[in-house]
Amino acid sequence: MLSISVGHSVSARPARIVARLMASGAALALIAPGVALAAPDPQAPADAPQAAGQGDELNDIVVTATRSGAQSLQTVPIAVSVVNVDQITKSGQGNLSDLAKFTPSLVITEGAPGFNKFNLRGLATGGYVTSDTSDRPLVAVYLDDTPISVQGQTPDLKVYDLDRVEVLRGPQGTLFGAGSMAGTVRFVTAKPDARSFFGTAEASGSTTEHGAGSYNVRGMVNIPLIKDELAVRGNIFVGNDGGFIDNIGQHRVDNANSNRSTQGRVAVRWTPTDKLTVDGSFTYENSRAKGLNTGLDGLAPYTYESNGAEGTRDLFKLYTGGFDYDAGFANVIVTGAYTDRKIGFNASPDPQIGYYFANYYAPYTGAGKYPLYAPPASYDHAVTSLIPAENYTINQKLNDFMAEARLVSKSDGPVKWTVGAFYEKQNRHLVQDIPVAGFDTLSYQNAAFGPFATPTGLYDSKTVDGAFSSNDIFSGLQDVHEHQFAAYADGTWHVTDRLDLTAGLRYFNFKESYYLYEGGAFGVLLGKDAQGRTTGTTQSIRSTLKSNGVNPRANISYKLDDNVLIYAEAAKGFRYGGANQPVPLGTAGLAGRCTTQLNSYGYSAAPGTFGPDKLWNYTIGEKAKFAGGRVTLNASAYYIDWSDVQTRLRLNCSYFFTDNKGKIASKGVELEAAVKATRNITLNGSFSFNDSTARGDIPTVGAFDGDRTPYSPRVTASAGAFYDADLGRGAIHLQATYKYISSQQTTFNNFSTTLDPATKKLIVDTASNGGRSQTYAVIPESHNASASIAYDIGNYEFGIFGNNLFNGVKVIDIQRATYYAIYQAGSRVTYARPRTIGVRAKVKF
């Protein structure tokens, strides 16, 4: 398929390591104090009045990250961060990508609304491909207990009406299953409260440099239907994000990438007895962007050129239900969910087909026939404007049913345990189509390959190449049906009041059936019939894949005293395999180019399927409170051994496939610190360092031993200051935050590579582009500074906010032009939203 491209002693050595980590974190707290206001009580309604943050201690943060009940963040012996929702709201932020601004190691790349790629701890091998249904996420995203992540296309649910967002770093395979190899992000929603009626209404407006204005309105209401027993909670969001990309092509429009989103959620909670709680909810999102966050670096900043329309669509519906029953010896928790989602993607990468319309062959002359122009020596806007619009379209339908049941023991015994079972069935239907007006007569197809097996002897995409319609370069569909079952157990033995031992296992069984069809000029093999006329042979495959196995984890934690916890963990992570799309084989044309490069990498054909990849993650860490609860310091160090890595070989004939090749090692440290400097001032910050590299050569991605993984910044750091005080009849809140992300690269190195036919070793291919990679680029470091001020008076709140204040975040992804460079004004670059200033008002009732 084509692509465009988070009483016992301790041995001396671990104690020394932990001491060094603590010292490093203390230095961070002094040098770069940093990110988050003392959190509100997560047990209170999300919009209930909160104290102004003027206490003497940092507020305790409660999490449910271990899925075995609520615990203080400082007593959970894993690397987990909590994003403060109130902080995000006051700062005028709320997109999915904003989460990375408050979490160490997490990087989120947003190519367009709803098209987000999550990276954690340096676990990446490249960018994602929109048309690859077998590309699986490394970071699992959950809404409460429901997985909602799709690689690169996690729905952009606004961060609102949530208790908190939990980011678990490192593999969570035992409790969260496949897709959580690098970590898990959990959106924990605010639940209906049957005690009282309350609600909020809020509106905000902002202006973006280089772009149009934005606005949103949102509201929430909590209604007790039966006092202390039954309640409903609903919220709605309607917003328009103004565009900031100007299109100067034939599809000329300013602020082309505007996005409108309508979202809503209704939740019901029934507690007929003190032993039973029943929950149900419906979540809805309808998002439509009129363009992509893409520009061309050969044009003015924030400027793009296309001859056709672009944009994304996302219609997301999630139905959930479940109950929690206190059976005495344990809680019985059952949840179920059904997801109905439709995803659309439109691009117009016209330069990729520019060569079809230039006079490389004897002209097929006549009005409205090939050729359209002479090939330019270099980029020429006038020529590029003549290329017919390449209406690259992908439409997906995804239906997912999941059910989970687990028993969670009580906390009053020496052993705390959880056992459960999980089932998921997913159907995914993807249709990819590239209609191009006039292609059948305006391209060199007739001039180069005719006569064709048609009544007229002339080319027709549908008749000759099996496209969905005439004037269609490529048509394809993929149908994927998946079933997975898992059973898991996780238990903690409280050996003493200070020492805990935890172990967990998860058994998984996975099945997939896959069907693919490809037609059109890009999807067929050319041949000749008995009369010597050109014909195209469409491609289709059916394949099945099965896998099963067991993934363990072990954790030991020890309380040095009531305020200092140290821990060590070893955990195995995994990700399911999948089916590959076919790569055409032949001796000439497109198939010939594919075959030649396949052979150069030691393949006679692309493998039909690929298997699971896996990793072992080893972590040591500490969590500490100092100065009477006014300082917290959490640190972790990790080493990850990733093997049988799912890597994608991109061929120069525009096809690709995935194979299990190579090993990657990732190691690093993560630090978080918070300081209650005075009754009014809170400081905190985070820092992460990562070194993720290839262990040995990985030919499929052109990686030499020691090359750094792409899309993996070495350093992320954040700092923030928060001031809360009573002022007049109300309270004032000021906050300023800063996030730094070091530079990243888009591929492992700057070389064009191949295999030496004699030694079968990876070498630099000097015959190709002088040995230089045509896809390597460096994404520059970013500096994101934001600030806000809010004044809360009674039931009213007013605020001013500014984000990306110094435009320190600009380019967040780069895709270089290759064979079509003369038709494109430089590389495709993905831009972050420029400086944005806004106001907001909120009323509580």
Q: What is the pLDDT of residues 739-773, one digit of tens each?
A: 999 999 999 999 999 999 889 899 999 988 889 99
Q: What is the mean pLDDT of residues 469-482?
A: 96
Residue 686 lies in a domain: yes
Q: What is the mean pLDDT of residues 596-619?
A: 91
Domain count, the chain: 1
Residue 512 · residue 579 · CB < 8 Å: yes
CA of residue 354 relative to chain centroid, distance: 32
Say what the pTM is.
Answer: 0.89
Cβ neighbour number for residue 710 with a 10 Å cutoff: 24
Q: What is the mean pLDDT of residues 712-718?
A: 95
- CATH number for position 711: 2.40.170.20
Residue 494 burial by Cβ neighbours in a 10 Å radius (0-12, 13-18, 19+): middle
Instruction: Give tens-digit pLDDT for 457-474.
Output: 999 999 999 999 999 999
- In this prediction, residue 95 carries a pLDDT of 72
C-alpha distance from residue 58 to each of 623, 687, 813 (Å): 14, 20, 38
Q: What is the DSSP string of 328-359?
A: SSEEEEEEEEEEEEEEEEEE--GGGGGGGGB-
Instruction: Give tens-digit pLDDT for 485-503.
Output: 999 999 999 999 999 999 9
Q: Could you give the CA distance from residue 656 to residue 266 in angstroms, rounded to a whole number?
A: 43
pLDDT at 210 over 90: yes
Residue 17 lies in a domain: no
Q: What is the mean pLDDT of residues 291-313?
A: 96
pLDDT at 17 over 50: no
Q: Could you give the CA distance from residue 469 to residue 275 in angstroms, rounded to a whole number?
A: 60
Residue 662 lies in a domain: yes
Read off the pLDDT band of 309 (50, 70, 90): very high
Give ∠ CA 88-689-775 in degrees, rounded to 5. 90
- In this prediction, residue 164 carries a pLDDT of 87
- In this prediction, residue 21 carries a pLDDT of 34
Instruction: Give tens-digit pLDDT for 629-657.
Output: 999 999 999 999 999 999 999 887 878 89
Q: What is the mean pLDDT of residues 230-249?
A: 96
pLDDT at 688 over 60: yes
- In this prediction, residue 194 carries a pLDDT of 97
Residue 32 lies in a domain: no
- In this prediction, residue 806 carries a pLDDT of 97
Q: What is the mean pLDDT of residues 407-434?
A: 93
- In this prediction, residue 760 carries a pLDDT of 87
Residue 26 lies in a domain: no
pLDDT at 668 over 80: yes
Residue 113 lies in a domain: yes
Range of the domain at 618: 42-48+63-844
In this structure, of 25-39, 279-293, 628-642, 774-788, the range with the lowest mean pLDDT score is 25-39
pLDDT at 3 over 70: no
- In this prediction, residue 270 carries a pLDDT of 98
- In this prediction, residue 11 carries a pLDDT of 37
Highest mean pLDDT among 157-166, 571-580, 652-661, 828-837: 828-837
Residue 726 lies in a domain: yes
Residue 243 · residue 257 · CB < 8 Å: yes
Q: What is the mean pLDDT of residues 358-369?
A: 85
- In this prediction, residue 55 carries a pLDDT of 67
CA-nearest of 482, 337, 339 to 397 is 339
Q: What is the mean pLDDT of the chain?
A: 89
pLDDT at 29 over 70: no
Instruction: Give tens-digit pLDDT for 72-83.
Output: 889 999 999 998
Q: Could you give the CA distance from residue 289 to residue 253 in angstroms, rounded to a whole number?
A: 14
Pick 163 or 352 by higher pLDDT: 352
Residue 677 lies in a domain: yes
